[in-house]
Structure 1
Amino acid sequence: MDLADLHIFKTVVEEGGIVRAARKLHRVQSSITMRIKQLESSLGAELFYRSKQRLHLSPSGELLLDYAERLLRLSDEARQALSGSAPRGVFRLGALESTTASRLPGVLASYHAACPQVRVELTTGTNDALTAAVAERRLDAAFVAEAPTAPGLAHQPLFTERLVLISSTQRGAIRGPQDVEGDSLIAFPSGCAYRRVLQRWLGAAHTPATRVLELGSYHAIVACVASGTGIALVPESVLDTVNGAEVRRHRLPRAVSHVVTPLIWRNGEQSAPLLALRELLAR
């Protein structure tokens, strides 16, 4: 098994078959078929199930694919490090919806200018979904809301966010959890760190009885709050990006309202594109 075989195997998987892989690699189909069979023979495992000229990954193939992606990425990182060339390739980056809206535009503009050969694939999601994606190597790095506690993940603290409780402008002052009894909570789905912050502030006595309306964007959340549907906890920096956000802001204690957005990645797995991003953020 060598890197060339792994590259061919990975291309077959990505392209969905021998024919398209051969076209992408500029090889004849028989050559691709032979290399796949040789790889299976050397490993003593069937990598694909074959049915009606279609290939489907076997469990062994799925296991090898993870190793192949890691080995090929490490090979590319070593080549770039030794050659001293500029970062290049695909950089799979994740970010919270709030970070994407309020923090990333300037960061990505500077990054694209500094690393024109890197193609950033940006994925948004909740804190927990992004953390899992980094741990499972579906993302190279991510901007999340909580420093990871799982082993194997490293982090770099970055942006300080101030969270504010928002309600409709007709709502009275909110000074404590007792002032929001009966109100609906508008938030992102489970896995959102800011939702957990608000639920902790509400306390065990209020959380079980609180109705939750789950939405997928801050624009929708702010619009529903403005209409009187319920309350929400959002980063103050996001409100500045929402045009016509006619809501009332209620301050919470600093211990609840101040959070730091970290960048996370897998410990010991820093690609050239990730190192370039970290250096830019440090400046």
Structure 2
Amino acid sequence: MEITLYQVRTFLEVVRTGSITRAGRNLGYSQSTAAAHIRALESQVGASLFQRLYHGVRPTPDGETFHGYAVRLLGLVDELTTSLAGGREVSGRVSVGASPLSVDQELTRLVWECRYRYPKVELAPAGMDSQRITEEISAGRLDMGLILEPPNRGVNVPAGLNIEDLRFVDVVAVAGREFLGLLEETSEGNTENPLIERQAKARNSTVRLLHVDSDDSSLEKFRAAIEGAYSLRTEFMSIASVQGALELLRNGPCIAVLPRESVAREIESGEAGVVAGMPGERRVVRMVWNQQTWLPPALAATLELARRIGPPAVTVA
């Protein structure tokens, strides 16, 4: 019996995804090549390993038996590889998707730490909305992702993905120095020059609520609080990054809900400030990656590094 490791890896990926086509795509093969791997494997073991269904495949009883041995086999190969590698440096390329609210802190921190600890690992960062990150990882086009979500939000990700909470981040409603002063005057009851009239002279009577991540469903709560506290009309405006939001805060009647640590320097300098009376929120940084029996060393090292660069997210009862 001559069973090759690439056949075993294809087998395990087909079991994980339930699809020969998807398994081939994830491993960099065409559908026909992945199917050929399975046929050759079945020929070698003398048994049918998968039951072909209308939508995908599932292991036969013989396939379930083979799966247990396949996992053990690749585990031994990984141990052998690690043992022989000795002190050699980890190398490889890892693509990392980050939601807009996590780019400036989480992704930047990860990139710098990786350069220092694993100089031969190339991180390929990409900014995109949280939902797209999970879709790209599920499709095999991204290795891992970093997203920012409310901790009590149900994690809505496709089957076959791993999710791990890393740490908590506080988000606050912030405005630029000039506009913050107008809000404070209004809250103190200064009606000699009403806020809406002063805004109209400068630009218009509508405050822009800057929308950095389109998957952030909690902004409606901030919108209701802002309109209720200051009698303002608001409209959402989509911005691609935290830095873009800060630039708009400096130049007009805008409010943005951002991680406090991302605007700490601007708050300390007085360039921006937290809007009084607005509810703060806690978010959790979540790391997402594909479930795999075998993790490439570069990806395994990057995942472990992401766990170490911030305090763990421990939920307090």
Normalised TM-score (structure 2): 0.55
Deviations 1:224-283 (A, max 9, x none): 1222232111111111366977222126435xx111111111223643223212323444
Which residue among 165, 168, 174 is the counterpart of 1:166?
A: 174
Distance 1:238 1:78, change over 3 A: farther
**Which SS does the other structure have where 1:130 is aligned?**
helix
Distance 1:220 1:108, change over 3 A: closer
Amino acid at match of 2:242: Y
Q: Could you tell me how far apart the structure 2 residues matched to 1:78 and 1:273 are?
A: 19
Deviations 1:57-114 (A, max 9, x none): xxxxx9786154278xx9x999665311353221111123343322344433332333
The answer on 1:274 being equivalent to 2:296 is no
Which residue among 246, 250, 260 is the counterpart of 2:275?
A: 250
Between Structure 1 and Structure 2, whose CA radius of gyration is higher? 2
> Runs of 5+ in structure 1 lacking a partner?
5-61
Amino acid at match of 1:275: A
| Aligned residue pairs, count | 215
Distance 1:122 1:77, change over 3 A: farther
Q: Could you tell me how far apart the structure 1 residues matched to 2:23 and 2:110 are?
A: 35
The answer on 1:123 being equivalent to 2:126 is yes
Amino acid at match of 1:253: P
**Which SS does the other structure have where 1:172 is aligned?**
helix
Q: Could you tell me how far apart the structure 1 residues matched to 2:303 and 2:143 are?
A: 12
Distance 1:77 1:121, change over 3 A: farther
* 8 A contact 1:184–1:229 mirrored in 2: yes
Overall identity of the aligned pairs, in %: 17
* 8 A contact 1:168–1:246 mirrored in 2: yes
**Which SS does the other structure have where 1:144 is aligned?**
strand
The answer on 1:83 being equivalent to 2:81 is yes
CA apart distance, 1:127: 1.7
Give the alignment's Cα RMSD to 1 decimal: 4.0
Which residue among 261, 264, 268 is the counterpart of 2:285?
A: 261
Q: Could you tell me how far apart the structure 2 residues matched to 1:245 and 1:96 are?
A: 27
Distance 1:242 1:91, change over 3 A: farther
Which residue among 155, 164, 169 is the counterpart of 1:156?
A: 164
Amino acid at match of 1:172: L
Q: Could you tell me how far apart the structure 2 residues matched to 1:242 and 1:136 are?
A: 39
1:45-64 correspondence to structure 2 within 5 Å: none
Q: Could you tell me how far apart the structure 2 residues matched to 1:135 and 1:97 are?
A: 20
Deviates most, 266-275 or 229-238:
266-275
Distance 1:228 1:249, change over 3 A: same
Which residue among 202, 212, 216 is the counterpart of 2:223?
A: 202
